[in-house]
Amino acid sequence: MFNTTMPAQVLINEVATRDGFQSEANFVPTEDKIALINRLSLVGLNKIEVTSFVSPRAIPNLRDAEEVMQRIIRNPQVLYTTLVPNEKGAERAMACKADEINLAMSVSENHNLANMRMTCEESLSQFKRICDLVSPSGMRINGSLATTFGCPFEGILSTDKVFALIERYLQAGVQSISLCDTTGMAAPQQVYDLCTQVRSRFPQTEVTLHLHNTRGMGLANVMAGLSAGVNQFDASLGGIGGCPYAPGATGNICTEDLVHMLEANGLDTQVDLQQLIALAKQLPDLLGHDLPGQVAKAGIRTETRPIPASVLALKENKQTLAAAKPF
């Protein structure tokens, strides 16, 4: 099954303001985005995926990408990354001095056509041009592989294709890789097996897991990834988000739930969980709907509640009766 050795420290990447906000029914005001990112910058996160430099016609909720990137207060301990769909997006990211760009394509040919309007080969050709454009600037480049663990159109995909696409990414100039369970189809043993193989084949490459909780296995898949030696995870405040081109796909794993679970298992995240929960509790008012995250609703596992007055009265009554009994 799994290896019981876990990484000494786990890095948490927040994606709510890109992956989450892009799917919302209503536009989140620019000022609110900036305020949230500024607060997230202070809780100990490794990265914040701020926005996407995509056409406003394609994703109108992120039409303020430049303004948000230019006005946030950056913490030098945090990497500020943006999703880039094409060369124009890469130029916009460079102009805003993003720390990192994230390139994304699908392992599945059909999902890539639905999501990117390109074949996998066309995406790879474009990524090589983007890497050539961006590399002289010193900006980091991450490559995400969507539908790594399964596609709603093609089912479970060949691991050989995953390995081949990672190789192509690295040849193009990508420095780190994200394995994405875009549709929430991953299972723990599958995650463990694939991550173990990826880390064995590409030992010098930084690997991140981007997981969704569509079928309730998100946090179990985190434990499988940890056991395989992966120490970096994407998550979304409140559990918001989901791929609009994947039928039935719901939100990302929830950041505060993830941190709570990791810390309950004695793992160091450097994240201030209480501050994270406080931000998650404010998110429903900002978005106008309830969120799938659990810890913000239930409280951390060690949190206690006042004993009900009825129980205190019952205890007192029992103590009185016990005291009145003759020896």
Q: Among the options 96, 120, 243, 254, which is catalytic?
A: 243
3-state secondary structure the chain: CCCCCCCCECEEEECHHHHHHHHCCCCCCHHHHHHHHHHHCCCCCCEEEEEECCCCCCCHHHCCHHHHHHHCCCCCCCEEEEECCCHHHHHHHHHCCCCEEEEEEECCHHHHHHHHCCCHHHHHHHHHHHHHHHHHHCCEEEEEEECCCCECCCECCCHHHHHHHHHHHHHHCCCEEEEECCCCCCCHHHHHHHHHHHHHHCCCCEEEEECECCCCCHHHHHHHHHHCCCCEEEEEHHHCCCCCCCCCCCCECEHHHHHHHHHHCCCECCCCHHHHHHHHHHHHHHHCCCCCCCHHHHCCCCCCCCCCHHHHHHHHHHHHHHHHCCC
Nearest 5°: the CA angle 258, 244, 196 is 45
Contact yes or no for 192/220 (Cβ under 8 A): no
| Annotation marks residue 243 as catalytic | yes
Residues paired with 81 in a beta bridge: 49, 100
Contact 256, 275 (CB under 8 A): no
Active site residues: 243
